[in-house]
Structure 1
């Protein structure tokens, strides 16, 4: 999920910080960001609730 990675970097967060913000394990988040795992609907909702400025359409373009 290249957009998620770019968003995280622009927010100045590490992968660990992003995982903590979303209440995910570091490993799970890393797999998601590197396209080894797709986020569930629940995780997508968490992303949008925590980071309202994120463009969800860009997440689905990938």
Structure 2
């Protein structure tokens, strides 16, 4: 389980709900979570805005 999955699980969120919170499609979110796609600036900003306690360096090592 990668760090993004751990964060989502810790918050008891489904992939769909996490994608909705961040303002992305589930498909886009899943690709980032599984490492198929790299997160862009908008994704990183949305993640930090919605989860300010998150250490981005830990999530995306």
Tell me the TM-score normalized by structure 2.
0.92
**Cα distance, 1:40 vs structure 2:** 0.1
For structure 1, the 5+ residue unaligned runs are none
Instruction: Work out the number of aligned pairs and report it.
Output: 61
Runs of 4+ with deviation above 6 angstroms:
none
Q: Secondary structure at the match of 2:60?
A: helix
Partner of 1:32: 32
The Cα RMSD (Å) is: 1.3
Determine the C-alpha separation between the residues in 2 that align with 1:20 and 1:55: 21
